[in-house]
Amino acid sequence: MITIQKIQIKPTKKQPASEVEEIELIIDFGPAGDAYGGPGDRQIVLLGNEEIESLKKDRVLGLCIDRFVPNISISGSSQNLIKGQKYSIGEAEILISNISKKCHDVCRLRIEEKRICLLPKTARFASILKGGQICINDSVELISS
């Protein structure tokens, strides 16, 4: 079972993220109070704890690792969330709409080590289909299609 481990928002752009115990997901926007919320297919970002732990090893060279903040950190791997599938989280429903975090050309990890971190393959972006409260420890469950 996949569960929410951490919820974060950025109330102001280019400022540190705030960790919260619960938040309302708003249809066609994302998390309430998030400065990066808005319409489109990237209303929330999900990333698994497995990937977060692996990314910590690349922290010295990686450009995005300290800048990229998932709204929802989940137990296990985010690769278990499939593009095009719908999931329920707390009172909300989401659609995994995109799997691709752009790798920046100026990233030292890419330039010096000639490799790309896990983010482009593991970051999950989702659209909010049904709004509602989500909380730490809520399960992320596949909705039968």
What local confidence, expressed as pLDDT, does residue 126 receive? 97
Output the pLDDT for position 23: 97
Q: Is the pLDDT of residue 71 over 70?
A: yes
Higher-confidence residue of 44 and 61: namely 44
Q: What percent of the chain has pLDDT over 70?
A: 92
Confidence (pLDDT) at 2: 95
Task: Report which residue type is found at 122.
Answer: T
What's the rounded Cα separation, in Å, for the pair 99 and 120?
7
Domains within the chain, CATH numbers bracketed: 2-142 (2.40.33.20)
d(CA 134, CA 75): 15
Cα separation of 98 and 115, whole Å? 22
**Sequence letter at residue 145:** S
pTM for this one? 0.87
- In angstroms, the CA 3 to CA 139 distance is 4
